Amino acid sequence: MSLFLSVVPVSEAIEVVRRIAPLPGCEDIPLKDALHRALAGDVCADSDIPGFDRSTVDGYGVAAADTTGASEAIPAMLQCRGRVGMGSTDAGSISPGACKYVPTGGALPRGADAVVMIEHAEQIGDDVLVHRPVAPGENVVSRGEDFRAGEVVLERGRVLSPRDIGVAAAVGAGRVSVATVPTIGIISTGNEVVPVAATPGPGEVRDANSHLAGAFVTERGCRPV
């Protein structure tokens, strides 16, 4: 008779656990508490992200066509029509031959389809000399470029990372539905095993394995008991 119990492959053991273990429930929790939790449902964007055409640089919102052929030797001259404030609800508009100063992250004025970096322009009074042409969409993140309203941004079953928490916040998910934390029982056997706080006698060892297994269980987002 063999001194050892028969063993099964890991894949078979996993299938056995899946058959007998109860499925986790779900709960609705604040996003701030959701790190490393598994989503019980999809997270969708509640609106276009970003919600407006925005500049990726400090510079001047322009119609790209107005900068065609611009160079250091022969700059394009545009009329500056003011500034777009950060957080402004209305960036205004520009007409052909005009521009507006736009900070990084600021909204583009209507009529602008590109931004000239401030390093490639020179403002003299109300005139702005553009020393480099830009193409439509240059230095701009368009409305909905990151996510469209209704788009699934995080799928059910995903374990949330810090980056995922940021994505969920960006699309307005202040609360998320997550799977309840599974409880995993750990049994450490052996007549030679004694508690960690005990001093092992001859032939005895401290119970390191249950603590090791418990740490692995916790690391995987479960609760050891």
Q: What CATH code is carried by the domain that includes residue 125? A: 2.170.190.11
Phi, psi of 120 (to 5 degrees): -105, 20
Q: Would you say 222 and 181 are in contact if contact means Cβ atoms under 8 Å apart?
A: yes
**Full domain range(s) for residue 106:** 54-141
Judge whether residue 18 has pLDDT over 60. yes
Residue 113: pLDDT band (50, 70, 90) is: very high
Among the candidates 114, 141, 168, a domain finishes at 141
Give the per-residue pLDDT at 2. 57
Among residues 140, 149, 136, 220, which one has the least CA distance to residue 186? 220
Rounded CA separation 7/14 (Å): 13
**Burial class of residue 140 (count of CB atoms within 10 Å of its CB; 0-12, 13-18, 19+):** buried
Give residue-wise pLDDT tens across range 41-60: 999 999 999 999 999 999 99
Give residue 4's pLDDT.
60
Helices (H), 67-156: none
Residue 38 sits in the same domain as residue 98: no
